[in-house]
Amino acid sequence: MTIGLSRNAGGPGLGYRDRTPRGRRQDTLMALEELYREVILDHYRNPRNKGHLDAPDASAEGVNPLCGDEIHLELSVEDGVVSGVAIEGQGCSISQSSASMMTEAIKGKTRDEIAELVKRFRTMMAIDEGGDPGLDPGRPGAVLGDVEALQGVRQYPVRIKCASLAWNTLMEALDQE
Ligand code: ZN
């Protein structure tokens, strides 16, 4: 599926656009923001791994009272690997899409790999300083996938709590497993 990364990037006939290098960079940024917005909305409208597991090994509830976001998370863990994950929740598009992206990112991963993902997420959202979120998808170790679409949220401190809710809930569930 193409989701429009190139739709606004330098197409013909858009005479009102600034053609200076600075203007082109602006176009690229806007196209990227639009891509991110579409990825977020897609996860919000079609949440992955929604529902419940038959016999979860761990579960946790997360609430973000500032925004009214709620997440119920269930995990199956086999030989140290997250083999199943299910979420139910309600709230804003940032909290619910982040939860959906998180479920895709952690499935089949070990506890150590998940800890690394959480670290990258927290660095990307500027919750933790230093470190390397590994955002360039072309390089080894870039593992966040769709989760990268949330990076624009860090400009809005209040929404960072929405984006982090699922990840905090995940750590809580893993702690009790
Ligand atoms: Zn929210």
What ranges do the domains of the chain cover? Answer: 1-46, 58-176
User: Residue 3: which pLDDT band, with cuts at 50, 70 and 90?
Assistant: very low
pLDDT for 66 = 94
Task: Say how many Å lie between the CA of residue 44 and the centre of ligand 1.
Answer: 12
Does the structure show a pLDDT above 80 at 110?
A: yes
> Lowest-pLDDT range, 95-109, 131-145, 156-170?
131-145
User: Residue 155: which pLDDT band, with cuts at 50, 70 and 90?
Assistant: confident
Does the structure show a pLDDT above 50 at 17?
A: no
Averaged pLDDT score across all residues of the chain: 83
pLDDT for 32 = 76
Does the structure show a pLDDT above 90 at 164?
A: yes
- The CATH number for 58-176, chosen from 3.30.450.20, 3.40.50.150, 3.40.50.300, 3.90.1010.10, is 3.90.1010.10
Instruction: Identify whether the C-beta of residue 176 lies closer than 8 Å to the C-beta of residue 167.
Output: no
Task: Say how many Å lie between the CA of residue 70 and the centre of ligand 1.
Answer: 9
Reported pTM: 0.79
Q: Which residue has the higher pLDDT, 66 or 1?
A: 66
pLDDT for 15 = 38
Task: Say how many Å lie between the CA of residue 96 and the centre of ligand 1.
Answer: 8
Starting at the edge strand found earlier in the chain, the sheet holding 58-64 runs: 58-64, 69-78, 81-90
Percent composition of the chain: helix, strand, coil (DSSP 3-state, to 5): 45, 15, 35
Helix (H) or strand (E) holding 140: none
Q: Which pair of tokens denotes residue 15? A: 């005479």
Task: Say how many Å lie between the CA of residue 72 and the centre of ligand 1.
Answer: 15
